[in-house]
Amino acid sequence: MTYNVIDFEDMQNEPLTIVENEEIIREVRQIIRSLDEPSYAIIVLYYYKRIKIKEISSILNISEGTIKSVLHRSRNKVKKELIKRGFIEGLEERGVDIDEPQKQNR
């Protein structure tokens, strides 16, 4: 499960929109970097490297259930921090539902 990603191709190429999106991306990256090391590693492997949960489990020698729990807790931490920093409203206005995971064959 992953969260909806901002689709830049569907968005207008207005300079303000581009700057706002870049700012949100920077904030999310900063929040992810602040996670504890195991959570950070799992987030990077799953979302950035696009490795399946089963493979991450094998690589890190951690159960699939633990991987799923870490992903869930990490998403919640990112969401809470985005709310605290005032970014959630901006995402929701763009149609990004951060509570609804995308259904993917992962």
Q: Is residue 103 part of a domain?
A: no
- Model confidence at 104, in pLDDT bands (50, 70, 90)? very low
Q: What's the total number of domains in the chain? A: 1
In a domain, residue 6? The reply is no
CATH number of the domain encompassing residue 57:
1.10.10.10
In a domain, 5, yes or no: no
C-alpha 39: how far from chain center: 12
Q: What is the pLDDT of residue 91?
A: 57
Q: Is residue 45 part of a domain?
A: yes
pLDDT of residue 31: 95
User: For 52-98, what is each residue's pLDDT tens digit?
Assistant: 999 999 999 999 999 999 999 999 999 889 888 887 765 556 665 65
Instruction: Tell whether 35 is covered by a domain.
Output: yes
Is residue 4 situated within a structural domain?
no
- C-alpha 102/C-alpha 96 separation (Å) is 11
Domain that holds residue 59: 12-94
**Residue 25 located in a structural domain:** yes
Q: Mind spelling out the 3-state secondary structure of the chain? A: CEECCCCCCCCCCCHHHHHHHHHHHHHHHHHHHCCCHHHHHHHHHHHHCCCCHHHHHHHHCCCHHHHHHHHHHHHHHHHHHHHHCCCHHHHHHCCCCCCCEECCCC
Distance between CA atoms of residues 71 and 43, nearest Å: 7
